[in-house]
Amino acid sequence: MNRPLDPSERIVWNRVARTVTPRRRPHGKGAAKPRLNPTREDFGAMMRLPPLSPRSDKPVAGPVPQSADRLVRRGRVGIDARLDLHGMTQAEALRSLSTALFRSAKRGERCLLVITGKGLQGEGVLRQQLPSWLARPDLRPLIATYAQAHARHGGSGAWYIFLRSS
């Protein structure tokens, strides 16, 4: 059921519409016509966008120790376990990460390779979220530090997570 927007909703819609650049649309038979008069459903869908999560600029722990840093730069890190988050939603990825970290800590493993993927144009959601997930109060005690993986192990689309020794 569509209804026209209220004047206050129209003002907000116009402000948002000015910030958006249109995508190139195909010309010809199958081209979709742009909607000039937004409906209440369009406005409601725009307002339901997920909120941006706060980004934590502070690392989980201190810097990687010099010996481990040298191993990371050379790609000679001994990986005890791997976790691939490709194709998962944020909720699924966080659940899998938590499970893998607790399991690795229980087994006494020292290094977990987490593959997040790079995403489109290097802006992957999971890749950006991983540091804030590692800073969560339930996971922070398990982690000594983390570092971006060597190209051999996935480069900017993967992370080494070094676990604290028990």
pLDDT digits (tens, 9 = 90+) for 77-111: 678 889 999 888 999 999 999 999 999 999 888 88
pLDDT at 71: 66
What pLDDT sits at residue 99?
93
pLDDT given for residue 94 in this prediction = 93
Q: Is residue 136 part of a domain?
A: yes
Question: Has residue 58 been placed in a domain?
Answer: no
Which string of DSSP letters, residue by residue, matches 81-123?
EEEE-TT--HHHHHHHHHHHHHHHHHHT--EEEEE----GGG-
Per the prediction, the chain carries an average pLDDT of 76
pTM: 0.57
The whole-angstrom separation of Cα 149 and Cα 154 is: 6
Other Cβ atoms less than 10 A from the Cβ of 136: the count is 14
3-state SS class at 159? strand
One domain for residues 153 and 76? yes
Based on the fold, state whether residues 27 and 103 are members of the same structural domain. no
Q: CATH no. for residue 157? A: 3.30.1370.110
The reply to whether 52 falls in a domain is no
CA 68 to chain centre: 25
**Domains in the chain, number:** 2
Together in a domain, 71 and 43: no
Q: Is 48 helix (H, G, I), strand (E, B) or coil?
A: coil
Residues 78 and 159 in one domain: yes
In a domain, 59, yes or no: no
Query: Residue 14 domain-assigned?
Result: yes
Residues 41 and 72 in one domain: no
In a domain, 57, yes or no: no
Domain of residue 84, residue span: 66-163
